[in-house]
């Protein structure tokens, strides 16, 4: 019997072995098709309700082509698809479910190596979390970004321009015909959002951690190279199976530092912080927000990509892609870290020059001297919170203003339309009970809308704070992920209308200017909100999800023991 894991299923001269082989033969396969060959599981997150993965139906054929070329046996295994556009209340409610599914699908099947076909925001982190826990050789095939969108002579970016033109429509500056025209063209092809949103950020992180082929994170979804990338990924998966190149052999503590440095340098989505925390903890590294803060302070932003900059993912690809950007950061990266192709990160990036220094800045000309996401602390966020200053109005980054507090999202919608709500441009909008447990599911409500009457006055940004997340394509002075969240009694639960809140980016501090005595008095009368899910997965989620500063994984899935062998089923 060979060393392949799948041999335990297919090689034995036993009743079980007979059963496994006979059923493959029932599908028209012969011994020569699979016997002794690495079985490569193609974990496919295709769904008709996931627009970002609509090309996965055909891309899986490219993967199979590569696997056959290398002497492997491909098996396509559908797993839950998490499409941002249609899932309510939030795909984040289901990230851990896909992580569990990935782990168990890998564990229970005769799979020697896996290709993780992901892209839309939560899919890549979820599948990596599962693959780390299963510890079976795995390689990520990112879906790739959409092509750039164009309207008249304007280049449109996913998400970011939807928010922008929606505000203009609410301000009365955009007619219905133009709004409909934008709707028709803003999603130009298959693929993920083509701004540096969460999908592109997580693909870049997967690559920088060594879990995808060089530049795999940047290849647009529908160009010819994406077909070739898929075939190459398939070929490499076969080799990884033969080498037993598992995630635990690739990932070191420094691999996660590389992921953090990368997300800071690309001014990636704030959501990446939650996902990197969760992935690291699956691998046994108890990463904290402090490490993000340390690396943020020394990492310049070099990717001039929206929403922080000017360009889109297609421009990034043409400019040299992620490896070209990483060549500027070799002193900040651990370049000796191993990657899925068997080479080090340093060896992989050495071949990629920068083609366009406006899109990928050099160290001497950064978009910002420090990282794209800052970690803040203070009496409103004892366990931390985050902000993306590169996507904010610099005027508001050091600001004190009176709070206007919304207890939940329905109340926000109601008070936004209420003429008596005392909004001013200096107000600090506060949304609470919108975190992992309170919402539930940690939705992307953190870019609170600017009230209509302020939009009509020309206001386009305000300080907004919440225990929620925001889309990676969003922008504005939004303080996010406040921990502990209000629903578990974090200080955010005690804020009242009119309280002064100070955002101080220079000192990385968020302060509620209310005395400790007064806060204690308010705490005595605080009543926890009623939780939404009385049963089912939602109840499991609310009972076991950890706070944002711990990565929002389930408490029973975080483990330092990644080596636990699967149960012997034979
Ligand atoms: Fe899928 Fe943005 S909606 S990546």
Cα(524) to centroid(ligand 1), Å:
43
Instruction: Render pLDDT for 254-297 as a digit per residue (tens, 0 to 9).
Output: 999 999 999 999 999 999 999 999 999 999 999 999 999 999 99
Look at residue 565 and tell me whether its pLDDT is greater than 60.
no
Rounded to a whole number of angstroms, the CA Rg of the chain reads 24
At 145 the pLDDT is 98
Q: How far is the CA of 118 from the centre of ligand 1 (A)?
A: 11
Domain boundaries, the chain: 37-148+188-349, 150-185, 374-533
Beta-strand relationship, 500-504 and 509-512: antiparallel
- Cα dihedral 544→547→549→551 (10° resolution): 40
The CATH architecture that domain 374-533 belongs to is: 3-Layer(bba) Sandwich (3.50)
Q: Which atom of ligand 1 is nearest to the CA of 51?
A: 1
Q: What is the DSSP string of 4-31?
A: -TTHHHHS-SSHHHHHHHHHHHHTT--H
Centroid of ligand 1 to alpha carbon of 268 (angstroms): 14
Q: How far apart are CA 213 and CA 139, in angstroms?
A: 8
d(CA 248, ligand 1 centre) in Å:
29
Rounded to the nearest angstrom, the distance between the alpha carbon of 249 and the centre of ligand 1 is 31
pLDDT for residue 157 is more than 60: yes
Cα 188 to middle of ligand 1, angstroms: 13
What are the tokens at 161?
Answer: 């321009």
State the closest ligand 1 atom to the C-alpha of 200, by its place in the atom list counted from 1. Answer: 4
Closest ligand 1 atom, residue 84 Cα: 3
- Rounded to the nearest 5 degrees, what angle is found at the Cα of 147, between the Cα atoms of 170 and 340? 125
Question: Is 566 a residue whose pLDDT tops 90?
Answer: no
Q: What is the pLDDT of residues 374-425, one digit of tens each?
A: 999 999 999 999 999 988 999 999 999 999 999 999 999 999 999 999 999 9
Which of 120, 124, 271, 471 to mutate for ligand 1's pocket (most ligand atoms within 8 Å of CB)? Answer: 120
pLDDT for 1 equals: 59
Degrees (nearest 5) of the Cα angle 189, 194, 197?
Answer: 140
Our mutation pick for probing the ligand 1 site, out of 87, 197, 203, 268, counting the most ligand atoms within 8 A of Cβ, is 197
**Within 10 A of 556 (CB to CB), how many other CB atoms are there?**
8
Q: How far is the centre of ligand 1, averaged over its atoms, from the C-alpha of 60 (Å)?
A: 20
From atom 1 of ligand 1, which residue's Cα is the shortest distance away? 120
Taking the centre of ligand 1 as the mean of its atom positions, its distance from the CA of residue 39, in whole angstroms, is: 30
What was the pLDDT predicted at 567? 46
Using the atom order of ligand 1, give the atom closest to the CA of residue 473.
2
* The ligand 1 atom nearest the CA atom of 50: 1
* Closest ligand 1 atom to Cα of 192: 4
pLDDT at 569 over 60: no
State the Cα–Cα distance between residues 212 and 191, nearest whole angstrom.
17
User: For position 200, what pLDDT does the model report?
Assistant: 98
- The rounded Å distance from CA 301 to ligand 1 centre is 23
Residue 563 pLDDT level (bands cut at 50, 70, 90): low
Q: Which H or E element spans position 375?
A: strand 374-378
Mean of the per-residue pLDDT values for the chain?
95
3-state secondary structure of 259: helix
Per-residue pLDDT, averaged over 105-110, amounts to 96
pLDDT > 90? residue 298: yes
Ligand 1 centroid to Cα of residue 250, in Å, is 28
Task: Indicate whether 83 pLDDT > 70.
Answer: yes
Report the length, in residues, of the chain.
570
CA of 222 to the centre of ligand 1 (A): 15
- Torsional sign, CA 497, 499, 500, 502: negative
pLDDT at 560: 58
- pLDDT at residue 39 greater than cutoff 50: yes
Q: How far apart are the CA of 53 and the centre of ligand 1, in A?
A: 9
Ligand 1 pocket: which of 55, 189, 199, 472 to mutate (most atoms <8 Å of CB)?
Answer: 199
Distance 199 CA to ligand 1 centre (A): 6
At 150 the pLDDT is 94
Q: What percent of the chain has pLDDT over 70?
A: 98
pLDDT digit string (tens) for 509-527?
A: 999 999 999 999 999 999 9
Residues near 379 by Cβ (< 8 Å), separated by ≥ 6?
491, 511, 512, 519
Q: What is the pTM of this model?
A: 0.96
Residue nearest to atom 3 of ligand 1 (CA): 84
Pocket test for ligand 1, best of 52, 124, 126, 147 (most atoms within 8 A of CB): 52
Report residue 448: phi and psi, to 5°.
-60, 140
Distance CA 374, CA 126 (A): 24
Q: Is the pLDDT of residue 561 over 80?
A: no
Q: What confidence tens digit (pLDDT) does each residue in 451-501 have? A: 999 999 999 999 999 999 998 888 899 999 999 999 999 999 999 999 999
Give me ligand 1 centre to Cα 87, in Å: 11
pLDDT in the model for residue 62: 98
Which one, of 490, 427, 494, lies nearest residue 462 by Cα? 427
Q: For residue 198, give the ligand 1 atom closest to its CA.
A: 4
Higher-confidence residue of 561 and 410: namely: 410
Residue 564 has pLDDT above 60, yes or no: no
Ligand 1: residues whose CB is within 6 Å? 52, 84-85, 120-121, 158, 192-193, 197, 199
For ligand 1, atom 2: residue with the closest CA: 193
- b/e per residue 427-436 (b: at least 16 CB within 10 A): bbbbbbbbbb
Model pLDDT, residue 531 = 83
> What is the rounded distance in angstroms from the CA atom of residue 455 to the CA atom of residue 279?
40
Give me ligand 1 centre to Cα 44, in Å.
16
CA separation for the pair 488, 466 (Å, rounded): 14
Q: Is the pLDDT of residue 196 over 60?
A: yes
- Among 47, 54, 90, 121, say which to mutate for ligand 1: greatest number of ligand atoms within 8 Å of CB: 121
At 93, give phi and psi (nearest 5°). -60, -25
pLDDT digits (tens, 9 = 90+) for 423-432: 999 999 999 9
Of all atoms in ligand 1, which is nearest to the CA of residue 121?
Answer: 4
Crossing angle between the packed helical segments 198-208 and 271-282, to the nearest 10 degrees: 40
> Closest ligand 1 atom, CA of 472?
2
Asked whether the beta carbons of 43 and 76 are under 8 A apart, the reply is no
């Amino acid at each position: 019997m060979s060393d392949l894991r799948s041999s335990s299923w297919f090689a034995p001269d036993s009743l079980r072995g007979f059963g496994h082989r006979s059923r493959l033969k029932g599908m028209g396969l012969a011994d020569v098709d699979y016997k002794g060959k690495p079985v490569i599981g193609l974990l496919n997150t295709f769904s008709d309700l996931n627009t970002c993965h609509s090309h996965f139906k055909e891309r899986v054929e490219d993967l199979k082509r590569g696997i056959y070329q290398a002497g492997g046996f491909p098996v396509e295994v559908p797993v839950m698809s998490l499409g941002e556009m249609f899932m309510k209340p939030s795909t984040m409610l289901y990230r851990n479910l896909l992580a569990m599914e990935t782990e168990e699908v890998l564990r229970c099947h005769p799979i020697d190596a896996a290709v993780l076909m992901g892209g839309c925001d939560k899919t890549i982190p979820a599948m990596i979390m599962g693959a780390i826990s299963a510890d079976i050789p795995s390689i990520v095939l990112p879906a790739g970004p959409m092509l750039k969108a164009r309207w008249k002579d304007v280049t449109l970016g996913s998400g970011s321009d939807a928010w922008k033109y929606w505000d203009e429509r609410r301000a009365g500056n955009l007619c219905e015909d133009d709004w409909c025209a934008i709707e028709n063209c803003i999603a130009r092809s298959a693929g993920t959002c083509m701004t540096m949103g969460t999908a592109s950020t997580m693909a870049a992180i997967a690559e920088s951690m060594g879990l995808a082929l060089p530049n795999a994170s940047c290849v647009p979804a529908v160009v010819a190279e994406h077909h070739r990338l898929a075939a190459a990924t398939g070929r490499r998966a076969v080799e990884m199976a033969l080498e037993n190149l598992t995630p635990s052999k690739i990932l070191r503590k420094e691999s996660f530092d590389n992921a953090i440095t990368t997300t800071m340098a690309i001014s990636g989505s704030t959501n990446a912080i939650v996902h990197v925390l969760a992935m690291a903890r699956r691998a046994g590294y108890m990463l904290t927000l402090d490490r993000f803060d340390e690396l943020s302070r020394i990492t310049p932003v070099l990717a001039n990509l929206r929403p922080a900059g000017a360009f889109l993912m297609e421009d990034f690809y043409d400019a040299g892609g992620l490896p070209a950007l990483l060549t500027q950061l070799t002193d900040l990266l651990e370049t000796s870290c191993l990657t899925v192709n068997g080479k080090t990160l340093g060896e992989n990036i050495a071949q990629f020059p920068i083609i366009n220094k406006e899109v990928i800045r050099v160290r001497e000309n950064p978009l910002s001297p420090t990282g794209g996401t800052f970690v803040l602390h203070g009496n409103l966020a004892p366990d931390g919170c985050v902000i993306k200053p590169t996507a904010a109005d610099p005027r508001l980054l050091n600001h004190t203003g009176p709070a206007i507090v919304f207890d939940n999202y329905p109340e926000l919608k109601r008070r936004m339309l209420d003429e008596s709500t005392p909004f001013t441009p200096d107000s600090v909008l506060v949304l609470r009970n919108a975190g992992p447990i309170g919402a539930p599911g940690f939705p992307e409500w953190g870019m609170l809308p600017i009230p209509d009457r302020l939009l009509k006055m020309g206001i386009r940004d305000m300080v907004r704070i919440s225990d929620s997340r925001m889309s990676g394509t969003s922008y504005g002075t939004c303080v996010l992920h406040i921990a502990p969240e209000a629903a578990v009694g974090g200080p955010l639960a005690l804020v009242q209308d009119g309280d002064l809140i100070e955002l101080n980016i220079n000192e990385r501090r968020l302060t509620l200017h209310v005395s400790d005595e007064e806060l204690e008095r308010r705490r005595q009368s605080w009543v926890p909100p009623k939780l939404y899910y009385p049963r089912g997965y939602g109840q499991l989620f609310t009972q076991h999800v950890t706070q944002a500063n711990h990565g929002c994984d389930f408490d029973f899935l975080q483990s330092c023991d990644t080596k636990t062998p699967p149960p012997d089923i034979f």
